[in-house]
Amino acid sequence: MAKKQKRKQPSQKTQNAALRTTCWFCDHDVTPDYKDPKTLGYFLTPRGRVLPRHITSVCASCQRGLAVQIKRARQLALIR
């Protein structure tokens, strides 16, 4: 008989991010900035990877800019 697999419970950050339907940056009329590590942290996994667009609901242009700003913040050791 096959064992029943347990489903992983998504983290609270992932659940909250999945509820958004429009781009957070476009709604607040801001651009991603490497000098704001707290905001960048909402778009990272606990391991430090960038969350994909289908989870964060960020538009394509903002997602590209977000990835660049996260990389800059990592270079300056503002985030891990």
Q: Is the pTM of this model over 0.85?
A: no
Q: Which domains does the chain have, with CATH numbers?
A: 12-75 (4.10.640.10)
H or E, element range at 26: helix 24-27
Q: What is the pLDDT of residues 20-65, one digit of tens each?
A: 578 999 999 999 999 999 999 999 999 999 999 999 999 999 999 9
d(CA 78, CA 9): 29
Alpha-carbon distance values, 1 to 5, 6, 37, 52 (Å)? 12, 16, 49, 36
Dihedral pair phi/psi, residue 50, rounded to 5°: -75, 130
